[in-house]
Amino acid sequence: MKFFNVKHALLLALSFWACHGVAQDVKNYPNRSVKLVVPFTAGSTVDVLGRAIGEELQAEFNQPFVVDNRAGASTLLAAKLVAAAPADGYTLLFPTVTTLSLGPQLMAAPGFDPFKDVSMIARLGLTNFFLVVTPSFPARNMKEWIELIRKNPGKYSYGSSGSGSPQHIFMELLKKDLNLDIVHIPYKGSNSSMMDLLSGKVQMAFLDGTLAIPHLKTEKLFTVGTSMAKRTVLIPSVPTIADTVPGFDWSGWIAFAGPPNMPSSVVDLLAEKIRRFQATPAYTTLLNKAAMEPSEPMTPAMTSEFVKKEYKRWTPVIAASGAAVD
- 85 inside domain: yes
Section 160-188 average pLDDT = 93
* Residue 326: band (very low, low, confident or very high) from pLDDT cuts 50, 70, 90: low
Distance CA 309, CA 90 (A): 28
Please give the Cα distance from 36 to 154 (Å, whole number). 44
CA dist., res. 312 & res. 317, Å (int)? 9
Domain end (from 225, 243, 261) = 243
Q: How confident is the model at residue 16 (pLDDT cuts 50, 70, 90)?
A: very low
Establish if 29 belongs to a structural domain.
Answer: no
Q: Is residue 14 part of a domain?
A: no
Q: Residue 109 sits in a domain of what CATH number?
A: 3.40.190.150
- Please determine, for residue 70, whether its predicted confidence score (pLDDT) is greater than 60: yes
Same domain for 288 and 212?
no
* Confidence grade of residue 176 (pLDDT, cut at 50, 70, 90): very high
| 234 lies in the same domain as 263 | no
Domain co-membership, 202 together with 257: no
Last residue of a domain, one of 222, 243, 264: 243
Nearest to 223 by CA among 155, 94, 312, 135: 135
Q: Which of 223, 243, 263 is the last residue of a domain?
A: 243
User: CATH number of the domain that 137 lies in?
Assistant: 3.40.190.10
Domain boundaries, position 63: 34-126+252-321
Q: Is residue 17 part of a domain?
A: no
Q: What is the dihedral of CA 177, 181, 185, 186, to 10 degrees?
A: 20
Angle at 257 between CA 255 and CA 263, to 5 degrees: 145
The SS3 assignment for 77 reads: helix
What's the mean per-residue pLDDT of the chain?
91
User: What confidence tier does 321 reach under pLDDT thresholds 50, 70, 90?
Assistant: confident
Asked whether residue 185 is assigned to any structural domain, the reply reads: yes
- Asked whether the predicted pLDDT for residue 201 surpasses 50, the reply is yes
Instruction: Flag whether 28 is in a domain.
Output: no
Tell me, yes or no, whether 167 and 67 share the same domain. Answer: no
Give the pTM.
Answer: 0.88
Strands (E), the chain: 34-38, 65-69, 91-93, 119-127, 129-133, 157-160, 183-186, 204-208, 222-226, 252-258
Report the range of poorest mean pLDDT among 39-48, 184-193, 228-237: 184-193
Model pLDDT for residues 282-315, shown as the tens digit of each residue: 999 999 999 999 999 999 999 999 999 999 999 9
Rounded to whole angstroms, how far apart are CA atoms 59 and 313? 37
Residue 136 and residue 238 in one domain: yes
102-140, pLDDT tens digit by residue?
999 999 999 999 999 999 999 999 999 999 999 999 999
**pLDDT (0 to 100) of residue 44:** 87
- Report pLDDT for 93: 98
- SS3 of 155-213: the string is CCEEEECCCCCHHHHHHHHHHHHHCCCCEEEECCCHHHHHHHHHHCCCCEEEEEHHHHH
Domain total for the chain? 2
